[in-house]
Every structure is written in C-alpha cells, then in structure tokens.
Amino acid sequence: MNPPTANELVSFRFFPHSRQRVFEAFSDPRQLTCWFGPNGFTSTFKQFDFRPGGAWIFTFHGPNGTDYPNESTFIEIVPNERIVYDHVVPPHFRMAMTLAEEAGGTRLTWRMAFETAQLCETLKGICIPANEENFDRLAAHLGSSQTTHP
C-alpha cells in the first residue's frame, strides 16, 4: 500500500469474511444503513444508485438530533475489489475503498483524498476516529447472525 500523501487519510481493517461478503455489506443499501456512520448515528437514504455515475444521497442523523446532509457520486465500482466515490458536498473528498484478499478474510482499506492538505489536517481528528467506529460497526454487522451471507 502506498503511504498517504499530505491530503490523504488512510484507514484499514482486516475482516474474517470473504471479499464478496464485505462488498455486499456496502453495495446493499439495506445492510449499509445498519452499520455505516460513526457511533450513535443513523441514516436515511433518499437515493442509492450503485453504479458509476450514480448518486448516493442520504442524511446522517447525529445522536444529538443534528442532521447532516450527504451527497456522493459513484466513480468506479469493481465488484468485490474496489468502490470509489466523490463526496460532492462540503467537505469535498474522494473515497477509494479497496478489498484485498488475505489469508482467512479481507483487508478493507479506505483512502480519503481531500482537496487540500490543510483540509485533510483540519478533519483528521474527526475522520480517523469516525472511520474506526465505522469499521467497528461493520465488524459487528458482519458477525451478526441476523445478516445473510454466502
């Protein structure tokens, strides 16, 4: 893995599940709403058009009652390998998610590229812990007996 540039944040986690299973947890909006977001957040999806050029429009609902509108456009989707989207409302960034097969599971890497190094530095203290919370929630979702997988 290439080290992050000054305008990038990289987070990764190993999951003891197949790449297909991890990919499905993101590509299926019913599953995605169960785990995506920091601790205490829920989401309401308005649109989830999972294809290159498709829109993903949703609102995060914070634990304090604040709503956070989000809008992204999918740039690249390679099933079980890669998902890239642009977050098109502030803060602007490109998220590249890669799923690499490793013995006994999948290494999921999130590479967030911000418009500037200054913006990246400003958001680092929020994004890195939030990404870890997302990974914790994904791990719980993948391990739940209520999820269906091959």
Q: What is the pLDDT of residues 3-51, one digit of tens each?
A: 889 999 999 999 999 999 999 999 999 999 999 999 999 999 999 999 9
Beta strand 67-78 pairing with 105-114? unpaired
Report the half-sphere exposure of 82 (CA within 13 A, side-chain side). Answer: 9
How far apart are the C-alpha atoms of 53 and 75, rounded to whole Å?
6
How far apart are the C-alpha atoms of 88 and 8, rounded to whole Å?
17
- Helix then strand then coil, % of the chain, to nearest 5: 30, 40, 30
- Average pLDDT value for the chain: 94
Query: How large is the average pLDDT for residues 74-97?
Result: 97
Tokens for 139, please give them: 């791990």
Look at residue 1 and tell me if it is in a domain. Answer: no
Domain count, the chain: 1
pLDDT score of 2: 80
Query: How large is the average pLDDT for residues 56-76?
Result: 97
How far apart are the C-alpha atoms of 18 and 24, rounded to whole Å?
10
Nearest to 22 by CA among 78, 77, 81: 81
For residue 90, the enclosing domain spans 10-143
Look at residue 3 and tell me if it is in a domain. Answer: no
Residue 59, domain CATH: 3.30.530.20
Nearest to 12 by CA among 139, 115, 121: 139
Look at residue 5 and tell me if it is in a domain. Answer: no
